[in-house]
Structure formats: C-alpha cells, structure tokens
Amino acid sequence: MATPESVASMSLDGEIAVIMIDSPPVNALSQAVRTGIYDNVRKAIDDPAVKAVVLMCAGRTFIAGADITELGKPRQGPGLTETQDAMENSPKPVIAAIHGTALGGGLETALACHYRVAVPSAKCGLPEVKLGLLPGAGGTQRLPRIVGVEKALELLTSGEHVPAPTCLEWGLLDEIVPEGQLREGAVAFARRILAEKRPLKRVRDMDEKMIAARGKPELFESFRKANARKFRGFLAPEHNIRCVEAAVNLPFDEGIEAERRLFGELISGTQSAAQRYVFFAEREVWKIPDVPADTPVVPVKKVGIIGAGTMGGGIAMNFANVGIPVTLVEAKQDALERGLSVIRKNYENTAKRGRLTMEQVEQRMGLLTGSMALESLADCDLVIEAVFENMDVKKEVFARLDRIVKQGAVLATNTSALDVNEIATAVARPDAVVGMHYFSPANVMRLLEVVRGDKTSKAAIATAMQMGKKTGKIAALSGVCPGFIGNRILAARTRQAQAMLLEGAMPWDIDKVLYDFGLPMGPFAMSDLAGLDIGWFKETSKSSTVREVLCEMDRRGQKTGAGYYDYDEKRNAKPSPVTEKIVRDFMAKAGNQPRTITEQEILERCVYAMINEGAKILEEKIAIRASDIDIVWINGYGFPVYRGGPMFYADTVGLKTVVEKLREYGPRMGADFTISPLLERLAAEGKRLSEVKNG
C-alpha cells in the first residue's frame, strides 16, 4: 500500500528543495501522491533554509493525471485543489520540472506552480475529454489564461498532447532545459528566478486574454459549429466549452465553481463511466493470459503481402509507415502496378494535407517492392495473405507458401470469415498460421483482429500482436468461428435489420435509428458504401433477397450511384422509391402485413441481438474478455465510445431488461434465434456482462 512517505520525498540542493514523486507506473495523483506533495510543500515553506521549490517525478513521466481508478469514488486526504492552493499561495517560488507527459491533473498541478520547465521531449495536455470528462482542478480556467480562448478550446476538446517546444512558444512552459538534465536545469532555473527577484507568477491572476475575449460569443458559436460532426453524441466537449465561456465571463473563483459543477455532472454520468472503462479495456486487450508479455516473438525485418488490391495495399502501408520493407505480390503486372500507384496516391494525398513531406512519401514508396513471384517471399519473416475470400484459393496459396517461405516465419491470413484451422491444414507447419484480420481501409482503421487457430503457436500470436502495436493498431485476439468477433456480431445485427425490412421498416428507418444511437451509419448505408455485390455472384443470383434483386438491377451501392438508396453526383443519399417497391413486393410475396415498427423496437432488436451474440462469443471462449468485444466494435465498426461498446452498453441498460425484451420479441428475432445461457444467468444473478473474463 503506497503511503505519502513512500511516494514523495524532499531533498535539498543548497537553498532549493526538490520534491520527488515516485509512484509507478505514471505518478498518477492518488491519495498518497496528493498528500505527499501537500505535506512536502508545506514542509518546504516552513523551512527557513529553503528559498524555492522544484516539483518533479521519477520514472517514465511527470504526473499523468488523477488516478483514474479513484475517480468518482469518495475522496480521502487533501483534494487536488488544496494541494494546488498550497503551491500557488506559497511565498516561495514553486517550479514544475516536467519530463514524459504532464497530463490532466498533472498539468493542472504544474499550472498551479509559479513556473514550468521541461525537457525537449516532454508533452503537455488536458486529455480528460477522452475520458468523458473535463479538467476538474482548474485546468479549464488556467489554460485559456495562458494560451487564449481558441487554442484552449482546441486542446480541451481534442485532448491533444502538445510537444514542449510548442508549449514554450505558447507560454505554457517558461524554459526548456537539456534532455537528461531536468533536475540540474530546474534547480539552475530556480536560482535564476531568485537572483533576478522575479515575481511569483500566478496563472489565476493573468486576465488579459480573458478580457480580450469578453463580449465575443461568436468565438464559441463558430467553434461549436465547425466541430458539430466530431462532437456528435458526446457530452464532454460541450461541457469543456462552457467552462471556457465561464473563464472568459466570470471572475476566477466563480469560473472554478462552474468547472466543479460541470465536472460533477460528467463524472456521475454514464458517458464518462463508459469512456473510463474503455481506457482500461484498450490496455487490457493486449494481455493474453497464456501468452505472457515476455513470450519470444519472431523478429520481423521484412514482410510479404499477397494481393495488391485495396486490402493488401492498405496493409502494406502500415508496415512501410514504420520503416519495415514489404514485398507485394500480385498475379498480374497491371494489377501490381495499379496497386502500387494507389498506394502512392494515398501517400501523396496525405502529403497534400501537410501530414507527410514528399521526401517521406518517397522513403515509404522505396520500402515497397512489387513482384509477380511468390518465390520472392522466401526470406520474409511475416507473410500476410490478402487474396480472394475463397477457401480453395487460400489453401493453395498457403500450400505454396509452405514450400517457399523460410522456416520460423509467421504465415498470416487476412480472411474476414473463413476457418483459419482449415487454412492451416494446407501447410506442414500449422503452428505458424495465424489470422490477421484488418478492416478496410487497412491503413486507416485502427482495429486488427488476431485470430488464433487450434495449433497456432504462442510465438505467432505474440508476433502478430506486436506487429499490431508497432503499426499503431489496436489488436484483439479472437478464436476461430464464422466471422470471428466483429463480423459474427455484425451478422447477428444484419439478420434483425433484414428481418425488419420484411415486417415494414424501410432501410432508412433502420439506418436512422442506429445513426441516432451514435453509429457512423446504419447497416444499409454501410452496405451501399462497401458495395452490395461483395460475395454476390450473377451466375447464382436467384432474386431471392432484396439485395440480390438490387444487384441484379445493377444497383450495387454508392459506386454505381444506387443501392438501397439513390445517390446524387455528390454521393448524397436519398430514400429510393425503387428499393421501397422491391421491399413491398417481397413483403407481399411473404404474405406479411406491413406494421409500424417503433424506433425503440428497431434499436432493441438490432443492439440486443448484438449483445446476445457477444455473450455467446464469450461463452464459447472465442473472446478472452467482454471488454475485448467492446474494443472490436468501437474500433472496427464505430460503436460510440461514450456507450462503452455493446457489452458495457448492455450493463447500462440492465441485463434483466435485455433478456426480457429478447423474450418478448420471441419468434420475430428469427426461427433459430436463441438467448445466450450466459446472458440469462448473469441477468438472473444480477451480475455485469462487461466484467466477464475467460482465463
């Protein structure tokens, strides 16, 4: 158990007291740390030998914020505000010395110091918005006083970490000291302050920028308008904005009061609970009980990718982005050239937006080698197959790879639904076979499902997970089942959406409900975007579903200007009378009387079916944890993070309600629909779904 004495100490460097916080992993402001700072600041003030105080941290970082595990619980020991008051009102200068990251309550602590210095690699930020919160220790009042309203709004609503040189430019830092010499640099700075008799600078007294912004409500209105899409559904950005309005229009202490009240609203709400849950879920998802962090991995110095289409090309970019050379194999020269030129265009577009230099574009392109021979993959450490979704084709590719690629390499398939175990039967080394299921566009989407076959080795799993991390993805482990975690849940939702079509809801009715729930789009808009003809074949099409009929009419989605919806030249969607007629014809054929389906029913049948499927996935041990399922749906399908993912959302609704509703909808859910026994049991026992863990 950490005590104030074990996490905070003070030593003297001549007349400068250095308070050192040492509370791994990130020096979060736990009760012990707060008390430790408070006690030592008081001690330094009382000690006549001390003339100035430096506050710094040991380990990887300066204070990374409040201890998130303590948030929302009854507070013990001095609050952060009392600790800050002790520093801000100290008659001796207090200097924050920053390395790593000063985040959230950490930066707020530094803002209550009279001066701030940092090493060049340090970063500062107020990322509370990402936890569905706002800085609750004066950050919303002090930050704009230094950087002004516009920058404060940006920083508070994005949670961005700002590099030290920029912080210096903006006045958030007073000085940058040499890397690796933080303590010496900070102490020297303190001596200079004393020698020059510089005043005790209190950020709370800096009103100039607030006065300048007073009487300009348009500053806030235009910011809200410009970001309306980005903030859709989230409460925290608006709360942060209101705090800055308070900073501008009210005296400091009243601004602090407003901040406290708005913080209280957020911390007690479901959105912040969901977002804090996701914070920890994102970190847990990497942990695989029987594949510990020290499992040896295959060092990946060269990657081979088979298929230079949209998927293969996107996957290749991930590796080139982090400096790993890639050989891209295609069967035909023109397809290969097309693939490489699409990649080049993607990079050039990024460069046009100023996020890459042309030199970097060339560097990355230089890491990509095209080839038409699988033999050129012989010395790759990791090969990812991204060919046509057909079992025979995939098995043939793997059989050939088995003969070509060096032993010890990882052989991965990007299949989105096929049986990884069956693919592995094509090789004499099934332990090397793993699924690496990327989401399109693979260079943009964060999710990577790593699929573990029955024989997949721990090294192959650890390597795939590590490659995910290295390329900036969030990787979740799935067992083998049709569709793995993500697409299996998607299929459960699609079944309900399709069923409701034949009961009287139009595609746009269903899409609207899911969009309003917070998803980026509904299932029909998503089909139109992806292309209705994925997995559709003209030769075998029998006009047996709405989708088949649409494809037969060449309404294949956005790319053909029509699908479930009609599209104008700018790809704006409009409900389609053609689709409506097709739907009505199908209903008539099935003998269905159209009925009005309420928005509530649409939502519940779609989302509760997903929850139910997620529970089955857990029961079958396809997912390690419920929270992994949430990670998959947030990062692969845009499930609103403020709802925590389908499993967490189930808990906010109440499992009893979910089960009762599923029972109530009964046969409408489908002839072979069954309720997950795990879900029923948890509901009966009053337990939470999002806390379920296998192993």
Q: Which residues are catalytic?
A: 108, 128
**Which CB atom, from 80 or from 340, has the smaller least distance to ligand 3H9?**
80
Give me the least distance between CB of 430 and ligand 3H9, in Å please: 32
Kindly compute the dihedral angle of the four CA atoms of residues 32, 33, 36, 42, in this order, to the nearest 10 degrees.
-130
**Which CB atom, from 246 or from 532, has the smaller least distance to ligand 3H9?**
246
**Which CB atom, from 159 or from 507, has the smaller least distance to ligand 3H9?**
159
**Which CB atom, from 170 or from 286, has the smaller least distance to ligand 3H9?**
286
Tell me which residue of 57, 228, 259 sits closest to 141, measured CA to CA: 259
Pairing between strand 101-103 and 123-125? parallel
In whole angstroms, give the CA distance from residue 579 to residue 575: 8
**Which CB atom, from 108 or from 533, has the smaller least distance to ligand 3H9?**
108
Sign of CA dihedral 8, 134, 121, 176: negative
170 near 151, Cβ under 8 Å? yes
Tell me which residue of 394, 396, 380 sits closest to 467, measured CA to CA: 380
Residues 6+ apart with CB under 8 A from 254: 246
- In the three-class reduction of DSSP (H, G, I as helix; E, B as strand; rest coil), residue 395 is classed as helix
Max Cα-Cα span within the chain = 92
CA 275 to chain centre: 10
In whole angstroms, give the CA distance from residue 487 to residue 368: 30
**Which CB atom, from 79 or from 575, has the smaller least distance to ligand 3H9?**
79
Give me the least distance between CB of 474 and ligand 3H9, in Å please: 12
In sequence order, the β-bridge partners of residue 426 are: none
Edge-to-edge, what's the strand order for the sheet holding 8-13?
8-13, 16-21, 52-57, 94-98, 115-118, 175-176
Give me the least distance between CB of 32 and ligand 3H9, in Å please: 13
HSE-up of residue 130 (Cα within 13 Å, Cβ side): 16
**Which CB atom, from 69 or from 674, has the smaller least distance to ligand 3H9?**
69
Q: Enumerate binding residues for ligand 3H9 (CB under 6 A).
A: 25-26, 28, 61, 64-69, 80, 101, 103-105, 108, 127-128, 131, 133, 135-137, 139, 280, 283
Give me the least distance between CB of 610 and ligand 3H9, in Å please: 27
Give me the least distance between CB of 502 and ligand 3H9, in Å please: 46
Residues 6+ apart with CB under 8 A from 588: none
In whole angstroms, give the CA distance from residue 512 to residue 522: 7
Give me the least distance between CB of 77 and ligand 3H9, in Å please: 13
Give me the least distance between CB of 79 and ligand 3H9, in Å please: 7
- The dihedrals phi and psi of 668, each to the nearest 5 degrees, come to -60, -25
- Whole-number Cα distances in Å, 212 to 206, 218, 247: 12, 13, 12
21 near 33, Cβ under 8 Å? yes
User: 560: which DSSP letter?
Assistant: G
HSE-up of residue 160 (Cα within 13 Å, Cβ side): 12
Q: Which segments of 440-512 are extended strands (E)?
A: 447-451, 474-478
Give me the least distance between CB of 276 and ligand 3H9, in Å please: 9
In whole angstroms, give the CA distance from residue 477 to residue 436: 10
Give me the least distance between CB of 492 and ligand 3H9, in Å please: 31
Give me the least distance between CB of 109 and ligand 3H9, in Å please: 9
In whole angstroms, give the CA distance from residue 374 to residue 307: 11
In whole angstroms, give the CA distance from residue 397 to residue 450: 20
**Element holding 19 (H helix, E strand):** strand 16-21
In whole angstroms, give the CA distance from residue 267 to residue 278: 15
- Whole-number Cα distances in Å, 129 to 114, 632, 658: 26, 21, 30
> What tokens appear for 142 in the block?
């002090």
**Which CB atom, from 134 or from 549, has the smaller least distance to ligand 3H9?**
134
149 near 219, Cβ under 8 Å? yes
- The dihedrals phi and psi of 17, each to the nearest 5 degrees, come to -90, 130
Give me the least distance between CB of 60 and ligand 3H9, in Å please: 6
> What tokens appear for 368 in the block?
């990509």
CA 50 to chain centre: 45
